[in-house]
Amino acid sequence: MEEERSFMSINSAHEHFHGVLLQHFNYTIGTSDKSLLMNENAVDNMCKEAPDDVQLALRRTSQMSRAMLITQGRKVIHEDLSNGSERFPVRVVNDVDTTRMIDFVYTTRIVDRNGVLAARRNTVVTFCCCSGVCTTGCECNSGIYDEYGFARESSLEWPFVECSAACTCSLQCGNRVAQKGATYPIEVFRTCDGRGWAVRALRNICKGAFIGEYTGELLCDAETARPERTDTYFFETRVGERLFTVDARLYGNFTRFINHSCRPNATVGMVVWEAQLEQLNHICIFATENIPKGKEITISYGQSWWDAKLPQFSCRCGHANCEYSEDRRKTELQRLAAEMAAELQARSASTVSSSSSDDSDEKRSV
């Protein structure tokens, strides 16, 4: 009801100022011309020859027209996808079409339905005895984070350790960042270029800042091979030396909607913060550049992912040097077709050779 009253008051003000335009200045703003009020440059041109009061009316009407457009166009389909589990509401917006979001269970942690993590030995592998905040010389702190809690990009190439529950340092220790969860508010939105859902920043995100952990269901190889499983949301990880997959199809958080870009502004780093000998590599996303408010957050899905997917579809990141464009996809399909043709030809030649050999054997036996 409040939204309806707000819209009505804006609409009334719009009509009032539109009347001022007609009364005080010789403009003809018919139905076809009202779109000019959405264009700031067009309004500036109209104001050049208009009296002061009409200039004011034009500019205020223009502002209200754009506000009405935004109010009418914003289709918030979820006020908080996380249901309060994040520090901020995870709003979902679809201004593009009528597509609804596929149901999944929102979780900020790894879902271990098979008890893999619970079955680990409680042997403590790494811990520190610091009091208060750790220094770079302690057992856990490898200097990955700077004094502001931002990760150094060069350090994200290998798994790194944060302080664990076995450490005596405080929760305010600078080596406890990713384990505390996401702090930068984001929004999930529907893209208008066919890339499905995406994630954008609602606040400026600094380079090196932790954005979020990729959560989902922890699966072994046998489970990923089941026919009902699809690899759309698969992400490989480790528990100790064992390989596992995190599947965010049924369980996950906002990171499952982060799209690929050939020029990404974020990257994935593996972080461990558990005391057990067999530590889970948490899949964590960090900004690799300053991400301004309103900009989409993207990562690279990697070469192996695209090797499997490129025959099916191409990348739509729109970057000038896109590595997996439609042209690249066509080239890849041609290569696969040539390989298949060569393989069939080789098989055919082998069959003919085998048949000829059989005929020769028959003649010798006669």
HSE (CB half, 13 Å, CA atoms) of 154? 3
pLDDT one-digit tens code per residue, 329-339? 777 777 777 88
pLDDT for res 121: 75
pLDDT for res 84: 95
Q: Which residue's structure tokens are 């067999």?
A: 278
Q: Per-residue pLDDT averaged across 23-50, rounded?
A: 53
105-120: string of b/e by CB count within 10 Å (b at 16+)?
ebbbebbbeeebbeeb
The answer, yes or no, to whether residue 304 has pLDDT greater than 60, is: yes
Residue in 263, 146, 281 with CA at minimum distance from that of residue 210: 146
Domain parsing of the chain, residue ranges: 2-73, 77-301
Question: ∠ at Cα 241 (247, 173), nearest 5°?
Answer: 80
Tokens of 239: 């528990």
The C-alpha atoms of residue 213 and residue 253 are separated, in whole angstroms, by 8
Pairing outcome for strands 242-247 and 217-219: antiparallel
pLDDT for res 363: 52
Strand intervals (E) in 62-209: 76-78, 91-93, 105-106, 160-161, 186-190, 197-201
The answer, yes or no, to whether residue 285 has pLDDT greater than 80, is: yes
Q: Which of 142-151, 189-198, 272-281 has the highest mean pLDDT?
A: 189-198
The answer, yes or no, to whether residue 354 has pLDDT greater than 70, is: no
pLDDT one-digit tens code per residue, 72-87? 556 899 999 999 999 9
Mean pLDDT value across the chain: 81
pLDDT for res 30: 40
Percent of the chain surpassing pLDDT 90 = 42
The answer, yes or no, to whether residue 303 has pLDDT greater than 90, is: no
Residue 293 buriedness (CB in 10 A; 0-12 / 13-18 / 19+): exposed
Residue in 167, 146, 157 with CA at minimum distance from that of residue 269: 157
- 10: CB partners within 8 A, 6+ apart: 64, 67, 68, 71
Residue in 210, 223, 211 with CA at minimum distance from that of residue 249: 223
**Which residue did the predictor score with more confidence, 17 or 212?**
212
Tell me which CATH homologous superfamily contains domain 77-301: SET domain (2.170.270.10)
Cβ 258 vs Cβ 199: under 8 Å:
yes
**Which residue did the predictor score with more confidence, 358 or 217?**
217
Asked whether the whole model's pTM tops 0.75, one would answer no
The C-alpha atoms of residue 183 and residue 97 are separated, in whole angstroms, by 30
Q: SS3 letters for 183-243?
A: CCCEEEEECCCCCCEEEEECCCECCCCEEEECCCEEECHHHHCCCCCCHHHEEEEEECCEE
196: left (phi over 0), alpha (psi -120 to 50) or beta: left
Q: How confident is the model at residue 290 (pLDDT cuts 50, 70, 90)?
A: very high
pLDDT for res 177: 96
Percent of the chain surpassing pLDDT 70 = 78
Residue in 86, 109, 99 with CA at minimum distance from that of residue 186: 86
The answer, yes or no, to whether residue 267 has pLDDT greater than 90, is: yes
**Which residue did the predictor score with more confidence, 177 or 278?**
177
pLDDT for res 319: 84
Q: How confident is the model at residue 33 (pLDDT cuts 50, 70, 90)?
A: very low
pLDDT for res 353: 64
The C-alpha atoms of residue 108 and residue 88 are separated, in whole angstroms, by 12
Residue in 211, 218, 220, 225 with CA at minimum distance from that of residue 258: 211
